A and B are shown apart, each in its own frame.
Chain A
Amino acid sequence: DAKTTQPPSMDCAEGRAANLPCNHSTISGNEYVYWYRQIHSQGPQYIIHGLKNNETNEMASLIITEDRKSSTLILPHATLRDTAVYYCIVRASFGNEKLTFGTGTRLTIIP
């Protein structure tokens, strides 16, 4: 799987949009971008994934650049409960199920 690069930490004011960047410059054409998050002392939680089109669900939006070398996860109205470590993972569309978690971005929502 291609490697990803994320900032180690970010702060965001409560009620504002949180934009979490991820670089995946070596991504290949059949690899998806997945986002998970892990709230302190809990298991990781799936957020969203996409291949090349932008995606939106009830939790977040995923914006993937046209060259697919980077993406941004957007939490539109951050709340204190969104404080967590966010993981950007690149994963092949077929083959094994390995999710390779890096160190992620620690997002802190400020009241």
Chain B
Amino acid sequence: ETGVTQTPRHLVMGMTNKKSLKCEQHLGHNAMYWYKQSAKKPLELMFVYNFKEQTENNSVPSRFSPECPNSSHLFLHLHTLQPEDSALYLCASSRAYGVQETQYFGPGTRLLVL
């Protein structure tokens, strides 16, 4: 266990659905991240939050909407997704952003968009 939990672990949704992914870290960290891992592709950084403020958005489509209500929780709201958005979505956290800190990953949510 890394101290980073994600729910749900698996999700199947239609293209017109709205769903949310949740991430929670119990490490006292201040930075949280969303990554996407598609089949046969390297991990791609999507969003970075530092002290609840979004500091990076790597050209992610607006159908993905992150939310960070506090330093321990991170959400990814999903709306009108496409089948190519099917992937493993990973959350990570680190003590701080902008310095050399190890990131700790959650187990991921495997998403299938039909």
Residues of chain A contacted by B66 (CB below 8 angstroms): none
CB-contact partner of A43 in B4, B45, B56, under 8 A: B4
* In the complex, B2 has a CB within 8 A of chain A: yes
Q: A-B contact count, CB below 8 Å?
A: 54
Contact partners of B45 in chain A: CB under 8 A: 98-99
Which listed residue, B4, B42, B91, B100, touches A91 by the CB 8 Å rule?
A: B100
Interface of A is mostly: loop
A95 CB, nearest partner CB in chain B, Å: 7
A43 x B33 contact (CB < 8 A): no
Interface residues on B, range: 20 to 34
Assess the B106–A97 pair: CB atoms within 8 A.
Answer: no
A43: chain B residues at CB < 8 Å are 2, 4, 90-92, 105-108
Q: Which chain A residues have a beta carbon within 8 Å of chain B's beta carbons?
A: 32, 34, 41-46, 49, 91-103
A-B interface, 5 closest residue pairs, ranked by CB to CB distance from nearest: A43-B105, A101-B43, A101-B42, A44-B105, A46-B102
